[in-house]
Amino acid sequence: MKETMIGPYGPFVAEQILTDRPPLLSYRNPRFHNLEDWRTQARAKALEMIAFPDTGETPKPEVVSRSTFEGLDVELLRWQLAFGPPTEALFLKPQGAKGPLPGIVALHDHGGLKYFGWRKIADDGRPVHPILCRHRDDDYAGKAWANEIAKRGYAVLVPDCFPFASRRILVSQVPRTLRWGEAKDVTEAEDESDIHRYNHWAAQHESIVAKVLFAAGTTWPGIFTYDDRRAVDVLCSRPEVDPERIGCAGLSGGGCRTTFLGGLDERIKCAICLGMMTTWRDLIIEKCHTHTWMMWAPGLPKYLDYPEILGLRVPLPTMVLSNNEDPLFSLSEMHRADDILREVFEKAGAADRYASGFYPGPHKFDAQMQQDAFNWFDRWLKA
């Protein structure tokens, strides 16, 4: 018998849930003909399954600081949402630009680094922490990619999201029985080992967070999509920004956030998912152990395969970039996800609005991928 993540129960899951038949609300089903009718039904079900907490409020950001750095105007922003600590974000635009500029919501990754958020992919001129230098070298060709795209003429907002950086859960905020090891609340000025200990504690605590969210009737995608949609509110409210030309992109955990934000928010006119595209079959049967709790929404696979969440945005421009040696996924299922999205866009008569690429190497958003992604944004958001 083939080994599975859940031993002898694996074949039951594969046969009962993860068949080759399109899920119930897949646009690939022959019964769906009208694109808008299908999207309205499927998007509503996806929002129901992730238990999106639509509280209705609009954030009121305050400017913490202003500066200029490498030809960019930089603002550190903060806003309070309906729950949790205040969100911190960095806003970047070409120095002196009045707009209207196309806007990008740049979504940071997971990376096992919950102590950091927007700082993983953006710079405000302050020294970059050594942990982040190594992280960028490994995953981003040493670049702060949010700054790089801003220099091309974009207004870029880089928000922290639950539960990272300003939105993270502090050790001192949980019961003592959950304060394992030597982890403590730290500031960036403290020893690097303290930050590593916090990240290790946060990784252990992740399953507790997932249990609480599920038991409370919500999900991790519901919470981070709430955070990210409020960030879109902030970006669209900026006087320098054209709210009709908004894009989003992110690697890894940021790619997961792109999948949900791009699929569920019609204001996102161009979306690029980086290093985070495969199928539920791959995630559940083969690779669940390589992933965070962030992406799971119980019941959703019955209605949409994972790539079809992003496909809810068809016919709006969409790009997916993947790596051939990415250990987080099965290559065959990455290609199957690509085939699913291509089929969705072709059925909608929008084959030219979907692009994908497979690159040599491991999990990353390297220089060539950045160039291809930025060119895709230029094509669809600068017209």
Q: For position 300, what pLDDT does the model report?
A: 95
Tally of domains in the chain: 1
Asked if residue 57 belongs to a domain, the reply is no
Q: Which residues contact 117 (CB under 8 A, 6 or more apart)?
A: 88, 108, 159, 160, 161, 164, 165, 166, 167, 168
Region of residue 47 (phi > 0: left; psi between -120 and 50: alpha; otherwise: beta): alpha
Asked if residue 42 belongs to a domain, the reply is no
Query: What separation in angstroms does the CA of 124 have from each of 37, 47, 68, 120, 236?
Result: 44, 35, 8, 11, 21
Tell me the average pLDDT across 104-128. Answer: 97
Q: For position 189, what pLDDT does the model report?
A: 62
Q: For position 351, what pLDDT does the model report?
A: 98
Q: For position 137, what pLDDT does the model report?
A: 98
Among 54-68, 103-117, 341-355, the least confident range: 54-68
Q: Does position 6 have pLDDT exceeding 90, yes or no?
A: no
Q: Does position 327 have pLDDT exceeding 70, yes or no?
A: yes
Q: For position 366, what pLDDT does the model report?
A: 98
Whole-structure pTM value = 0.96
Average pLDDT value for the chain: 94
- CA 133 to chain CA centroid, Å, is 21
Asked if residue 132 belongs to a domain, the reply is yes
Asked if residue 16 belongs to a domain, the reply is no
Q: Which domain holds residue 216?
A: 62-381
**Could you tell me the CATH number of the domain that includes residue 233?**
3.40.50.1820
Tell me the average pLDDT across 246-269. Answer: 98
Asked if residue 29 belongs to a domain, the reply is no
344-370 pLDDT tens trace: 999 999 999 999 999 999 999 999 999
What secondary structure does DSSP assign to 16-44, as a single string?
HTS-SSPPTT-TTSTT---HHHHHHHHHH
Percent of residues, the chain, with pLDDT higher than 70? 97
- 185 or 303: which leads in pLDDT: 303
66-82 pLDDT tens trace: 999 999 999 999 999 99
Asked if residue 268 belongs to a domain, the reply is yes
The pLDDT confidence band at residue 198, using thresholds 50, 70 and 90, is: very high
The pLDDT confidence band at residue 290, using thresholds 50, 70 and 90, is: confident
Asked if residue 3 belongs to a domain, the reply is no
26-54 pLDDT tens trace: 999 999 999 999 999 999 999 999 999 88
CA distance 293 to 210: 6
What secondary structure does DSSP assign to 213-227, as a single string?
HHHTT--HHHHHHHH
Contact (CB, 8 A) for 115 and 199: yes
Q: For position 166, what pLDDT does the model report?
A: 97
What element of type H or E holds 88? strand 87-94
Q: For position 191, what pLDDT does the model report?
A: 81
Asked if residue 20 belongs to a domain, the reply is no
The pLDDT confidence band at residue 275, using thresholds 50, 70 and 90, is: very high
